[in-house]
Each structure stands twice: as structure tokens, then as C-alpha cells.
Structure 1
């Protein structure tokens, strides 16, 4: 079932991961939630995969929770206890937690609809590239819920500022590709059929870092966003630099720089 709803293509040290429910706009059903939880959990101890590219099959990135499947389930909201609801909620929010815990940088390629949980996945990624058709929103508030869901209230204001985040979350309005670029929500906007091509330079630059340096950079960025002081951030940076400098990849990086060639790293 995992192979049906989540396609994982390994290209060397890069996983190209495709949300694969195109007939349902890649919305999240139980099988896809299970597959995403399992995949991002396994990444934590995977030293062969260095970069993840996440994208959606068909006409859009991800439309969020599969409401049709939920409506057709036996457990209707009125018959579920609060404990049951919280368990179901945490299963989805745990996906973005695992996305941030995994040491591999995640590049999301966003086209078409990117709403609700799909928006949360895009925000939880490290780099976002948008196709011109991309339309993103915090759809939760349009469904009788709070817009603060699946990490959106954490990530969005840190990416675009409180003012724009407030607008998008309080209204549920869509933000298109061009405005997303202007606000810093995405790094680049390209034609939809050029998304994979646009991702390649980012992937190559990520692979030019040492495996350890790449992992520690993501870890330190995560911690520095919420660091209580400059001293705390610098302590983490100092620790990481010493760790990286102890291995042979640091010397290889210096040699490659001096010889004007691509480095050949051996570490993990």
C-alpha cells in the first residue's frame, strides 16, 4: 500500500518522494498518513539518503485531509471521544515533527493546490520551489476549525512575518506563487513543467556540503530559531564546527576549494 500512495525513487543520495493519490489531489487518507509517518521516521537513522525532494502527482501538491474518506468512515465526529480525536490529530501533526527531526534537508516542489495539511508539509520543508499554478492556504479555518494546525502557526509567521501570517490564517485566503516569492515563502517560481529541473541546482549545492555538515546545519537552524540567546546559538555553532573539523571531509573540502574542483566526501 505504501508504494501505491507514496512513490520513493532513489537517485544516488537523493530520495525523490511523490505523494501519489492524483485522483484525490493527493489528499491524506489513512494509508498515506501511515506511509509518511513510516518514511520520515526511517530517515532519522538513514545515513545514505542526504537530500529529500517532495512533490505531488497529478494536478496539485496536496489538498490536505481527505474529507470524503473521513465522511465515509464509520467513526463520525459526534461518535468519537476527545481522546480518539486527539490521537487522530497527533498522527497527522507527528508527520511534520518527523520532517523537522530528520537530518536530511527537504526540498518541496509545489504546484496546483496546496491546502491544509499540504500547506503544512510545504512549510515544514527546508526549501520551497513553486510552479506558477501553485495556490496555498490554511484551509482549516474555512472548515469550521482553527487555522492553527499541524505546525502552521509555528512555521508561517517565522517565514513571512506575523502580519502576512495573520492575514492568511485569519481569512483562509490563498496565496499564489508570485506573492509567495515576494514574501519569502518560496525561493523560486518556475513553470510547472520545469519544477524538477529547477530543483537540480539546489540538490547539487546541498550535496556539495559534507554529509555531517549538512545534517548539523539543519539541526542547528532548527534550534537557533528558538534559541533563548545569542550565546546559546553560538554554543551550538561552536560545537558543530569542532565536530565537522575532526573528520577527513573537512580536509577534502579545503583541498577541493584550493584545487577548484568538486569535493569527494567519504563521511556520513
Structure 2
């Protein structure tokens, strides 16, 4: 039987080590279909930087809680909340930098094998998580879409780089 360790230090992700070299990060906002928010971006930067130097972790698996992998950005929190409710004009720039840091630097250049286990919906910015991993495995029922087109944005963001 594998020893499992769960690290409760995060709010929006679950970090679990199985004891056989495999560590899993589960996006854990099922009520929002695991959409990314600023808190998740901060936690992913912290988790990836911690695991990069963790000698027990040989393989990192990313997946989503319940029926969704990740629904992309939580647009209300990412754009509206900081600017209109908190009145912080620089919040979006900070949040965007964190979002890019973990997906396009920390994950893309992670020194260990990374696997995206796409267990359900994968939309918008979540696609960049998949393409930053070394390997992706999708469930038969998984749906992948680049919803940025609906908002007049370039689909896939930095995926084409």
C-alpha cells in the first residue's frame, strides 16, 4: 500500500504525494469548474517552486476536482473584482504576471516529468496548462475549447510560442 501525504497549506489546490515518486496537484474549485483565480495563481507558483527541489517528486500530475479539469480564468475575479470592487488598478497586472509565471515559466520548464490528466472540461487558459506539460492524457468525455475567440482575443494565448 502506498503512503499518501496531503499538504493542507493551500486553499484552491490539493497537493498530494503518493509515496512512489508521483505527486498530484488537483485544481480544487469545483463550484467554479476549477477556474483559475488570483489565489490559485499564487498557490501554483509556490507549489511548483517547492516541488522543483523536492527529491521525492519524480513525476508531477495536474488534474481537476470532480468533473472539470479547469474552466480557464475566473473572469469575474480576474478582471472585475479587483478593478471595480477593490479599486486596485494594478491588480490585474500583478495577477497576470503570476498567471504567466506558473504556466509559462515554472510549469513549462519544470525539471521533472509533468502530466496533464484532463478529466473533463478544459477551456481557455487551461489549454496552456496542458501544452506546458510534457504529456497530456484526456478522458473520453473531456471537452477542450479555446473560448477566447468569443471575446475577440487571440486563441491559445502564448501556446503558439
TM-score by length of 1: 0.51
Aligned match of 2:14: 7
Runs of 4+ in structure 1 over 4 Å off: none
Aligned match of 1:107: 115
CA distance in structure 2 between the aligned counterparts of 1:41 and 1:142, rounded to whole angstroms = 34
- Indicate yes or no: 2:61 matched with 1:50: no
Residue 87 of structure 1 and its aligned partner are, at CA, apart by 3.3
- The alignment partner of 1:26 has SS state of coil
Number of equivalences:
150
Answer 1 or 2: which has greater strand percent.
2
Aligned match of 1:146: 154
Aligned match of 1:75: 83
Match runs of 1:162-201 below 5 Å: none
Task: Provide closer, same or farther for how the CA distance between residues 114 and 94 of structure 1 changes in structure 2, counting only shifts above 3 A.
Answer: same
Show structure 2 runs of 5+ residues with no match: 1-7
Aligned match of 1:22: 30
CA contact (8 A) 2:69 2:119 kept: yes
- The alignment partner of 2:70 has SS state of coil
CA contact (8 A) 1:18 1:56 kept: yes
Task: Using CA pairs under 8 Å that are at least 6 residues apart, name the structure with larger relative contact order, 1 or 2.
Answer: 2
CA contact (8 A) 1:2 1:32 kept: no
Answer 1 or 2: which has greater helix percent.
1
Residue 3 of structure 1 and its aligned partner are, at CA, apart by 3.0
Show structure 1 runs of 5+ residues with no match: 155-268
- CA RMSD in angstroms comes to 2.1
CA contact (8 A) 2:127 2:144 kept: yes
Match runs of 1:99-248 below 5 Å: 99-149=107-157, 151-154=158-161
Higher radius of gyration, 1 or 2 = 1
CA distance in structure 2 between the aligned counterparts of 1:113 and 1:84, rounded to whole angstroms = 27
Task: Provide closer, same or farther for how the CA distance between residues 21 and 2 of structure 1 changes in structure 2, counting only shifts above 3 A.
Answer: farther
